[in-house]
Chain A
């Protein structure tokens, strides 16, 4: 892998099968087997032949409609999903916020959940314990809330805590999927600041967001994904403009029709 690259994606395709049954149960499976019926499956091509290099220190925004393959791509970079074809090479420690409330047991306190979240990310117990107060402070939790059960938190507090855990892991590569929707304007500004700080430290950030202003404000590069294919790559303003045109018109620009 060339020096200076954080992520290299080569001819990546991710395909999986989903069942069309409303409920996948043993009972239904046995019924089907007794009637010699085949299970109804559908093949989803979530990502198709994608190639992309992401340098260290860049902030890449990923835009696209629902079902474009953005989250699948992020999970593949994180090593959660395996490629069906192609290769993903990742250079550095990854921290992810791809599903809100990660590792959070609502019956446990915020402090306990921070420890669980950190351990799940691969930190040692000592490392995460030393960061607990810093994480709680960054999440702007009201006094004493850190030791209360997470079920007593508002959804904003819950989201802020998840985000704080993810950014406090000092990752080389941070993957965020719709994570910036949590929190108020003040917290959003604070999280932007934290991400700019991470970039200044040559860390790499990948952001999936439907909030296009976030992509233009924060990213220095963007890609547009549509039905598993990367349609365009370039400066965030240009990509967002093209994507917005597509959203308004409802059809792909003529230059993409063949893709």
Chain B
């Protein structure tokens, strides 16, 4: 039987917040203590998504691979030239697409996570950021198997076209965790921003479909970062994923390190996106139970 002493340690007080943000340290502690929920939610959502599919999780690899082949046919074969340059373009396209889809899935699924998590939000008190966070984890889990696919295409391609100039394993690969972390933070911050907007304006997700498509065309995926000159290079920096995808291409394809501008660009967008998205989301999350 619980005693009064047991209860005393668990007193919670709910009062109006004077500032628009709740006290951040207890919030972050609560978020961290419930991270298992986000991880398991991602795992279970992943499981549920492929339950009814005959090929199951093979789609995780097939999906981006087929998409890469479609863009390869459009961009390289139809435009001409399936030589070793074509292989370089294919590899650039694949690693760009795989990485971009990691960010896109985080943003798209995260944007819907609050409106789709209605019952959970109406029933339980927990940091709502856990729901978009779980979408980011799920997107990362889906991104990981695409790396071996890329490596396989690279190895087979190099065997067919030995003259292809694509990086093998080098010290520059040590930049990859930095790039992925920057992309994850940027995408998570944007997911928080769009998830909040989606609560207030239910057509945000429809708009997001077009935004992400345009975003992909404006990112160095279907074109090489080196094809931009002069003022056009600005495009790489005004795009939140521009610096990170440029860095991605440099490491995976060109085997070069990252320039100072690219590093600063990656960090700038990761921090800005987290601060803006986080502020927007956390300052309004107490409203979600009423709005959904």
The answer to whether B203 and A25 touch across the interface, beta carbons within 8 angstroms, is yes
The answer to whether A120 and B37 touch across the interface, beta carbons within 8 angstroms, is yes
Residues of A within 8 Å of B120, CB to CB, are 102-103, 120
The answer to whether B124 and A201 touch across the interface, beta carbons within 8 angstroms, is no
Q: Report the Cα distance A3→B7, complex, angstroms.
A: 9
* Chain B binder among A58-66, A71-79, A218-226: A71-79
* Interface: B70 (CB within 8 A): no
Residue from the set A1, A80, A116 with the largest chain B CB neighbour count within 10 Å: A80
* Interface: B16 (CB within 8 A): yes
Q: Report the Cα distance A100→B120, complex, angstroms.
A: 10
Q: In the complex, what's the smallest C-beta–C-beta distance from A24 to chain B, in angstroms?
A: 6
Q: Report the Cα distance A115→B44, complex, angstroms.
A: 10
Q: Of B10, B16, B207, B286, which is within 8 A of A91 by CB?
A: B10
Q: Report the Cα distance A32→B11, complex, angstroms.
A: 45
Q: Report the Cα distance A202→B13, complex, angstroms.
A: 21
Q: Mark B187-213, 1 if CB is under 8 A from A, else 0.
A: 000000000010011111001000000
The answer to whether A124 and B36 touch across the interface, beta carbons within 8 angstroms, is yes
The answer to whether B2 and A203 touch across the interface, beta carbons within 8 angstroms, is yes
A25/B201 contact (C-beta < 8 A), A82-B16, A99-B119, A102-B119 known = yes
Count: A-B pairs, CB below 8 Å: 143
* Interface: A85 (CB within 8 A): yes
**Total residues of chain B contacting the partner, CB 8 A:** 46
Residues of B within 8 Å of A105, CB to CB, are 44-45, 48
Residues of A within 8 Å of B233, CB to CB, are none
Q: Report the Cα distance A89→B17, complex, angstroms.
A: 15
* Interface: B227 (CB within 8 A): no
Q: In the complex, what's the smallest C-beta–C-beta distance from A16 to chain B, in angstroms?
A: 5
**Total residues of chain A contacting the partner, CB 8 A:** 58
Q: Which residues of chain B in 100-139 are interfacial with respect to chain A, using CB atoms and an 8 Å cutoff?
A: 118-126
The answer to whether A112 and B202 touch across the interface, beta carbons within 8 angstroms, is no
The answer to whether A99 and B16 touch across the interface, beta carbons within 8 angstroms, is no
Residue from the set B16, B51, B207, B286 with the largest chain A CB neighbour count within 10 Å: B16
The answer to whether A79 and B125 touch across the interface, beta carbons within 8 angstroms, is yes
Q: Report the Cα distance A89→B11, complex, angstroms.
A: 7
Q: Which residues of chain B in 1-26 are interfacial with respect to chain A, using CB atoms and an 8 Å cutoff?
A: 1-2, 4, 6-8, 10-17
The answer to whether B10 and A119 touch across the interface, beta carbons within 8 angstroms, is no
Q: Mark B28-44, 1 if CB is under 8 A from A, else 0.
A: 00000110110011001
* Interface: A121 (CB within 8 A): yes
Residues of A within 8 Å of B13, CB to CB, are 87-90
The answer to whether B119 and A101 touch across the interface, beta carbons within 8 angstroms, is yes
Q: Of B17, B47, B121, which is within 8 A of A108 by CB?
A: B47
Q: Of A16, A75, A104, A172, which is within 8 A of B2 by CB?
A: A172
Q: Report the Cα distance A85→B227, complex, angstroms.
A: 59
A120/B124 contact (C-beta < 8 A), A23-B202, A25-B202 known = yes
Residue from the set B1, B14, B118 with the largest chain A CB neighbour count within 10 Å: B14
Q: In the complex, what's the smallest C-beta–C-beta distance from B114 to chain A, in angstroms?
A: 13
Q: Report the Cα distance A212→B21, complex, angstroms.
A: 40
Q: Report the Cα distance A172→B34, complex, angstroms.
A: 20
User: Can you sample 6 A-B contacts with CB below 8 Å?
Assistant: A6-B7, A82-B15, A99-B118, A104-B119, A115-B44, A125-B40
Which 10 residue pairs across A and B have the least CB separation, nearest first? A79-B125, A107-B48, A119-B37, A25-B203, A26-B201, A99-B122, A102-B123, A88-B14, A91-B7, A99-B119
Q: Contact residues of B with A, CB < 8 Å?
A: 1-2, 4, 6-8, 10-17, 33-34, 36-37, 40-41, 44-45, 47-48, 51-52, 118-126, 197, 200-204, 207, 286-287, 289-290
Additional 5 contacts, C-beta under 8 A, given A94-B125, A172-B7: A27-B203, A75-B289, A78-B125, A92-B10, A172-B2
